[in-house]
Each structure stands twice: as structure tokens, then as C-alpha cells.
Amino acid sequence: MIESLFVLSPTGKVIIEKHWHELIPRRVVDFFNDQVSKAMAEGEDVTREDVLPIIASPKYQLINVYRDGLTYLSPVTKEVDPMMVFEFLHRIPDIMQEYFGQVSETVIKENFVTVYQLLEEMMDDGFPLTTEPNSLKEIVPAPNILNKVITTMGATTSVSTRKMPNGMSNLPWRKAGVKYNSNEIFFDIVEEIDAIVDSTGKAVSCEAHGTIQTNSRLSGMPDLTLSFVNPRLVDDCSFHQSVRFNKWESDKVLSFVPPDGHFRLMSYRVNLPSQQNLPIQVKPSINIGANGAKFDITVSLRNTDGKAVENVVLTLPLHKSTSTLTAQCNVGQYMFDPVGKVLRWDVGKIVPRERAPVLSGSFGFGSASSEAAANAGYNIGVEFLINSHSLSGLKVDVLKLFNESYKPYKGVRTMTKAGRYQVRA
């Protein structure tokens, strides 16, 4: 059970404080801030992301999530399920995003009362309660333009006319009485490749995960059935709670009554053949000497079904003792961040059968160079995306709608992109 929550600003100041049980003194936040600074002082490469998500203090276990500069801190004294705490802490910015369009210290302060009301509904006595945006919006109105107008006009709905929240129906995720003039539903199939590739281009490990993000703008209580041409391509699926699991088990179709708005319908693992041809090949060569290194990096397309690869960005973190860098590239532009010691190459779009982008140059270690610099390994982070392409080949066959008579507009997009994709030099 969650006992208390502090939301901390990027400088570690308390923005939000909420206690469901005993009052936990703010001293605990000071202790936490000290631990964070201590951890970050441990090494040059230690960032805020490296701070342990669970820190022990003499009295509390400090469970914390760091997101977009804000820290969501929950000190607990009793045994809890940390997974549940993390899931819940992540929901807070998710919901704020949904309500306010963005999450920051300023946004929270501007919507203070709404945030507190939301927290009140999201958790009771430390038990997560209602975290479905659809149900929440019925209990706590979102501060949209319309609401603001209504408020200023003084035309609020009084208690007597309020509907019961739908949270108690058997479909806690969908509110009743949704109405749209044009009914539409969009599916985004996004597949991300996580890979570690060695310098010869061979994948050391390779995984691909897909998600189907859905935006539903359908009236009433639509009951949908989505089927795929080739459902066997996916594995280890997990579903939004609206999906009827038994139907998937027996018929491999997704049968569900969607929530209103954005939600993640399904995520899955792509079954990759053991020797997967990755869509893009990055060939680095880095020759390290005592005082510096010469490098060149070539990017080429391999397996994209003739599609262009877009937004290609390569990042190469260099050793901390690197002081100088010179380079040239035939495509895109590069940038060296002399403080963070990161070389970033924005390659842009690569079209099949055009000349391969190359970046070459050299960098030098400063006076503080050491054996560690000369022996350090290098890794290149790779980002890219390919539109209208799915690595797995998963294809939507048909979407059927029951329980409502209208004909909705249906849209499906696919995209493959790099997830955590890196090449070892």
C-alpha cells in the first residue's frame, strides 16, 4: 500500500504532498535529495537515471520514479508490492498528460486543485482505485476550454443532475453516453527493434516489440472485433483490460468494447527468425591510439522492402577525456557536444540505392588521458523509423462493429522504428 506521495521539482522542492496514512515529515525528502546527489557524485557518467528506484533510509523505503524532470516519491514503511507502486506512480503523470496536455512544475501549479482532486479519486487509503482516464473524467472534470466557459458563466451541473460515475459498471474503462458526429477509429501498429549489433553487423541480441495504439472516437457502446491476416506472427501478447482474453485464445481475434480516446490496445513480441535481417546496417571502425582515435562510420540500408528510412540519428558517446574532434560527413550534419562528450550525427532520410552516408574524422584525448581511455569500448546508439512497414509483417484483416448501427471510419498505420538499438564499435 502506498502511504504518501511527494512530487518533486527538478531542483528537489516539494510541489505536491499527499498522505493517505500518517503524516510523513518532509525531512524524508531532504534525505532523498541527499541520496540522489550522493549517487550522482559517484562518477562522471552517473546521471539521474542511474539512481536506484528504491532507496533504503533508516525508517522508510523510498520508492521513486523520475519522469520528465519530476520525481514521484513514495516513502513506505511497510511491505509493499513495488511493481504496483511503480505502475501507480507512472499513472500520475499519464493522467496529468491526459488532463492538461503536458506535465511540468508550472502545469501542476496551475491546476493544483484538479490535481488534488484527481489524487483523491485515484487512491483511497493507499489502494489504487480509479486510474482509467475515462472514468476519472466523469468524476473530476478536465479543465478544458468548455469547462472554463461554463465555470465563468456559472452554469455548473449541480449534484442532483450528476450521473453516477460509470466506474461501477462492468466496463469500468468506458463512459456512457459518448457521442460523436463522425465516428472514427485509428490503429497505429508500431514495432520497435531492440538490438545489440557487433562491429561486423551481426546481431548479438535482437528483440522486437509491437504495440497497437488506438484512438477511438466512436459513439455509444460499440463492440469491436479486430482480426489479423496473420495473427501467428505475434507472441507473448498483453492486452488492454477491455480485450476478451478467451476470444484471443480460441480464435486469435481481438474482441473488445474500446475506451473512449487514446489507449494501448495490445502489446506483443515479434517472433523473429534466428538470423533476422535488420533494416539498416551501421559499420563503425574506430582505431584508438595512445592520444586519440580515427574513426569512420558508414550507414547502409539492408532490408526495408524498398522503403526509405527516415529520421536516422546516430549518437556516439566518447570517453570523458576526449578534448578535440574533427569530422566530415557526406550526408546530414554532425554535432559534438564538448561538455557531455557526445558526437551526434543527424543523417536524416536514407533512400534505397542512393550513396551510403559516411561520417569520418578523428578525436583526441586531453592531457588527462589514461589507460582507461585507450581501452574503452564504444557504442553507437541508433535511431530511425520506417513508415508503412512492419517488421513482423502483421496485417489487419478486418474490423467489425457490433451493437451500434453507424459505419465508422477506420484507419490503420504501421511503422517500424529503432527502440533501444545499439552498435558496438
Partner 1 sequence: MSDAKFFQRGKIQELRLELNSDKKDRNYTRKKQTLKKIVANMTMGNDMSSLHPDVIACMSIPVLEVKKMVYLFLINYAKAKPEMAYEAIQTFRRDVEDPNPLIRALAIRTMGYIHVDKVTSCLIQPLRHCMRDQDPYVRKTAAVCVAKLFMQDRHLVENAGFIDLLREMLVDSNPSVVANAVAALTEISERSDHIQLQLNMSIASKLVTALNECSEWGQTYILESLMFVVPQEPGDAEMLAERIAPRLQHANSAVVLTAVKVIVYLMNYMSREEDIHSMCKKLSPPLVTLLSSGPEVQYVGLRNILLVIQKHPEILKNDIKIFFCKYNDPIYVKMAKLEIMFRLASEHNVEQVLSELKEYATEVDVDFVRKAVRSIGRLAVKIESTAQRCVEALLELIQTKVNYVVQESIVVIKDIFRKYPNQYESIIGVLCENLDNLDEPEAKAAMIWIIGQYADRIENSDELLDDFLYTFLEETVEVQLALLTATVKLFIKRPTAGQDLVPKVLKWATEEVDNPDLRDRGYIYWRLLSTDVAAAKAVVLSEKPHISTETDNMDPVLLEELLLHIASLSAIYHKAPTTFIPHCKPRFLIPSPALRRQNYNAGRTLQHQDSYSSLHNSAQYQQSQSNNMRSQRFDGDDSGNGGLDEFVSSPKQPQHQRLSYHEQSFEQVAEASIGNQEYYEQKINAENPYRTDTAAVGGSQANKGGGVDLMSFDL
Q: In Å, how far are 151, 296, 422 from 372, measured between CA atoms?
A: 64, 22, 22
Residue with cell 528537489: 12
Q: In Å, how far are 219, 222, 302, 408, 423 from 177, measured between CA atoms?
A: 7, 11, 50, 17, 51
Cell numbers placing 270: 515479434
Shortest separation between residue 422's beta carbon and partner 1, angstroms: 6
Of 249 and 273, nearer to partner 1 (C-beta) is 249
Which of the residues 305 through 334 are near partner 1 (CB under 8 A)?
Answer: 317, 319-320
Shortest separation between residue 407's beta carbon and partner 1, angstroms: 29
Residue with cell 504518501: 4
Does 338 contact partner 1 by CB under 8 A? no
Among 245-253, 305-313, 348-356, 393-401, the segment contacting partner 1 (CB under 8 A): 245-253
Does 351 contact partner 1 by CB under 8 A? no
Residues 105-144 as x/- pattern, contact with partner 1 by CB under 8 A: -x--xxxxxx-xx--x---xx-xxxxxx------x-----
Which of the residues 352 through 371 are near partner 1 (CB under 8 A)?
Answer: 370-371
Binder of partner 1 out of 30, 34, 68, 87 (CB under 8 A): 87
Count, residues in the chain: 425
Which of the residues 175 through 194 are near partner 1 (CB under 8 A)?
Answer: 194
- C-beta separation of 257 from 281 below 8 A: no
Considering only CA atoms, give the Rg of the chain: 25
CA atoms within 13 A on the CB side of 74: 25
Which of the residues 279 through 298 are near partner 1 (CB under 8 A)?
Answer: none
Q: For residue 318, with 0-12 CB atoms within 10 Å meaning exposed, 13-18 middle and 19 or more buried, which class applies?
A: buried
Which of the residues 204 through 223 are near partner 1 (CB under 8 A)?
Answer: 204-205, 207, 209
Shortest separation between residue 183's beta carbon and partner 1, angstroms: 25
Phi, psi for 360 (deg, rounded to 5) = -140, 160
Of 7 and 386, nearer to partner 1 (C-beta) is 7
* Cα separation, 215 vs 262, whole angstroms: 4
Does 252 contact partner 1 by CB under 8 A? no
Does 202 contact partner 1 by CB under 8 A? no
Which of the residues 375 through 394 are near partner 1 (CB under 8 A)?
Answer: 375-377, 379, 381
Does 83 contact partner 1 by CB under 8 A? yes
Report how many residues bind partner 1 under the rule CB under 8 A: 99
Shortest separation between residue 341's beta carbon and partner 1, angstroms: 10
Among 30-38, 44-52, 302-310, 406-414, the segment contacting partner 1 (CB under 8 A): 44-52
Residues 6+ apart with CB under 8 A from 342: 315, 316, 317, 318, 336
DSSP 48: G
Shortest separation between residue 82's beta carbon and partner 1, angstroms: 5
Of 129 and 398, nearer to partner 1 (C-beta) is 129
Beta-ladder partners of 322: 365
User: Which of 278, 277, 312, 308 is CA-nearest to residue 388?
Assistant: 308
